[in-house]
């Protein structure tokens, strides 16, 4: 009898009971009918909870997301899906230069360039040193540097992310705001591109639409990486040492 109830039945109970042929007119007083209504509500709820946008803590693991392995085993276990989220913006909030924040990306960039995907560096603060990049296994022919200033930096990063023809886009944004980052996040989603944005640590307190936010700072002179925000992550460790 329960099988006869449509699983997607979400209309108001009164209207449904009115069209119920066997139901007596005073439905609420009949305990059998009350059970019916409850079971139908439960079915509707189960159906609702099956929606991909809803995830419950106790249910099966969250839907898998496309990722790009970071090349660091410790970092891959921290990140959901085992790597950098594809088609999303990652924010790296860096306390000082020289903590190993860029080397974190080198294995990914090497893998991408060797797969002949283009990597774009937008407005780097110093010279990205070609011998070091080559030594890390990056195919320099796939690497493009863009010199931009001011608003052009945002625009360039957005264009590169949105186009979908770049494997990864690295941008250095000393000054930016929520609105601009939101644009970049949407552009990365549109293009399905890995986006990395380097920002000063002072920006860690402000809200951000990025899918992933990493804090790279020092604890007692020891560089550490901490997850400030991570879409789709469930518990577990939030930090790791940067240098082995």
Name the site residues for other proteins (rule: CB under 8 A): 96-103, 106, 114, 116-118, 124-135, 137, 139-148, 152, 155-156, 159-160, 162-166, 190-192, 218, 221-223
CB closer to other proteins out of 57 and 141 = 141
**Tokens representing residue 205 in the block:** 């307190």
- In the bound complex, what is the minimum distance in angstroms from residue 187's beta carbon to other proteins? 11
As a whole number of Å, the CA-based R_g of the chain is 25
- In the bound complex, what is the minimum distance in angstroms from residue 130's beta carbon to other proteins? 4
CB closer to other proteins out of 55 and 155 = 155
> Treating both helix axes as pointing N-terminal to C-terminal, what angle do 151-163 and 178-191 enclose, rounded to 10 degrees?
20
Q: Which helix (H) or strand (E) holds 194?
A: strand 194-200
CB closer to other proteins out of 16 and 105 = 105
Single out the residue of 120, 161, 112 nearest to residue 137, CA to CA: 112
Single out the residue of 83, 84, 102 nearest to residue 94, CA to CA: 102
Single out the residue of 235, 132, 122 nearest to residue 172, CA to CA: 122
CB closer to other proteins out of 17 and 159 = 159
- In the bound complex, what is the minimum distance in angstroms from residue 173's beta carbon to other proteins? 16
For 141, residues 6+ apart whose C-beta sits below 8 A from its C-beta are 113
CB closer to other proteins out of 41 and 114 = 114
- In the bound complex, what is the minimum distance in angstroms from residue 95's beta carbon to other proteins? 8
Q: What is the DSSP letter of 213?
A: E
- In the bound complex, what is the minimum distance in angstroms from residue 151's beta carbon to other proteins? 10
For 36, residues 6+ apart whose C-beta sits below 8 A from its C-beta are 5
CB closer to other proteins out of 37 and 133 = 133
Cα distances (angstroms) measured from residue 60 to each of 57, 79, 163: 8, 18, 35
- In the bound complex, what is the minimum distance in angstroms from residue 38's beta carbon to other proteins? 46
């Amino acid at each position: 009898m329960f099988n006869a109830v449509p699983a997607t039945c979400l209309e108001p109970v009164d209207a449904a009971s009115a069209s119920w042929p066997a139901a007596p007119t005073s439905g609420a007083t009949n305990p059998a009918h009350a059970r019916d209504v409850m079971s139908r509500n439960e079915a509707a709820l189960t159906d609702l909870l099956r929606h991909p946008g809803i995830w419950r803590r106790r249910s099966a693991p969250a839907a898998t997301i496309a990722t790009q392995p970071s090349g660091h085993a410790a970092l891959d276990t921290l990140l959901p899906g085992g790597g950098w989220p594809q088609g999303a913006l990652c924010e790296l909030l860096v306390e000082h230069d020289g903590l190993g924040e860029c080397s974190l990306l080198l294995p990914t960039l090497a893998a991408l360039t060797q797969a002949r995907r283009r990597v774009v560096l937008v407005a780097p603060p110093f010279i990205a040193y070609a011998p070091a990049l080559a030594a890390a296994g990056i195919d320099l022919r796939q690497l493009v540097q863009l010199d931009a200033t001011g608003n052009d930096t945002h625009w360039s990063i957005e264009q590169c992310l949105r186009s979908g023809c770049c494997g990864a886009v690295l941008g250095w944004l000393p000054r930016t705001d929520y609105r601009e980052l939101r644009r970049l996040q949407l552009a990365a989603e549109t293009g399905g591109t890995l986006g990395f944005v380097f920002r000063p640590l002072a920006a860690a307190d402000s809200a951000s639409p990025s899918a992933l936010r990493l804090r790279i700072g020092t604890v007692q002179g020891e560089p550490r990486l901490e997850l400030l925000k991570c879409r789709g992550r469930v518990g577990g460790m939030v930090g790791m040492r940067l240098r082995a």
